[in-house]
């Protein structure tokens, strides 16, 4: 299937184009942008990102591990220390807290990899260095007969150029 690449200079235009294309039923889209722009991302993926879930799970694992580790180890072999109780929660809370952050942070990172489908070393046909400069790209995959229409749509939305990256 052919893919058309429209090149834009304004994030707003990209977003508009995306909305329009979706409206016309063209859903197989991909965008390239040199910087994060919420309007584009939201137009592309209305649903919230799945990273949050990962963070939550990580954090919970951390806090549970923290308390479990400390309490179990302190009571596995009870050693008297300065007349303090074996299970002293306040100091163990610090360990639990640190582990919460640690696990949460790491899981968040893994979340980024999974949700963001990274690493992906098969470079997209439409991608080129200009999109890590200041241009925005919008790639539409469509049937032969829609090419002309999409070309028109893209130009209508101030695409500076439209090209066919795959016949």
Q: Which of residues 51-90 bind other proteins (CB under 8 A)?
A: 51-52, 55, 59, 69-70, 73-74, 76-77, 79-86, 88
Please check whether residue 25 is in contact with residue 167, taking contact to mean a CB–CB distance below 8 angstroms.
no
Shortest distance (Å) from residue 63 CB to other proteins: 12
Binding string, 2-21, against other proteins, x = CB under 8 A?
Answer: x--x-x--xxx---------
Report d(CA 143, CA 1) in Å as an integer.
6
Least spacing, CB of residue 64 vs other proteins, in Å: 15
Residues 109 to 148 in contact with other proteins, rule: CB under 8 A? 109, 111-113, 115-124, 127-135, 144-145, 147-148
Q: Does residue 101 interact with other proteins by CB under 8 A?
A: yes
Residue 25 is a binding residue for other proteins (CB under 8 A): no
| Interface with other proteins (CB under 8 A), residue from 17, 21, 40, 154 | 40
Q: How many CB atoms lie within 10 A of CB 94?
A: 11
Q: How far is the CB of 20 from other proteins (least distance, A)?
A: 16
C-alpha triplet 61, 63, 66: angle, nearest 5°? 105
**Which two structure tokens, joined as six digits, stand for 43?**
């137009």
156 binding other proteins? (CB under 8 A)? no
Residue pair 118/5 in contact by the 8 Å Cβ criterion: no
Q: Is 27 in the site for other proteins (CB under 8 A)?
A: no
Q: Which helix (H) or strand (E) holds 16?
A: helix 11-23
| Distance, CA of 144 to CA of 2 (rounded, Å) | 6
């Amino acid at each position: 299937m052919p893919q058309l690449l429209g090149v834009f200079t304004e994030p707003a235009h990209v977003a508009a184009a995306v909305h329009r294309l979706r409206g016309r039923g063209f859903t197989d889209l991909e965008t390239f942008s040199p910087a994060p722009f919420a309007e584009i991302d939201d137009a592309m993926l209305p649903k919230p990102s799945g990273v949050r879930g990962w963070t939550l799970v990580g954090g919970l694992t951390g806090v549970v591990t923290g308390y479990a580790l400390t309490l179990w180890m302190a009571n596995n072999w009870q050693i008297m220390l300065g007349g303090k109780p074996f299970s002293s929660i306040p100091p163990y809370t610090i360990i639990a807290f640190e582990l919460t952050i640690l696990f949460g942070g790491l899981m968040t990172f893994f979340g980024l990899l999974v949700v963001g489908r990274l690493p992906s070393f098969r470079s997209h046909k439409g991608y080129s260095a200009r999109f890590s400069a200041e241009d925005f790209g919008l790639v539409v995959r469509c049937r032969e007969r829609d090419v002309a229409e999409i070309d028109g749509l893209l130009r209508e939305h101030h695409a500076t150029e439209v090209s066919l990256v795959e016949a």
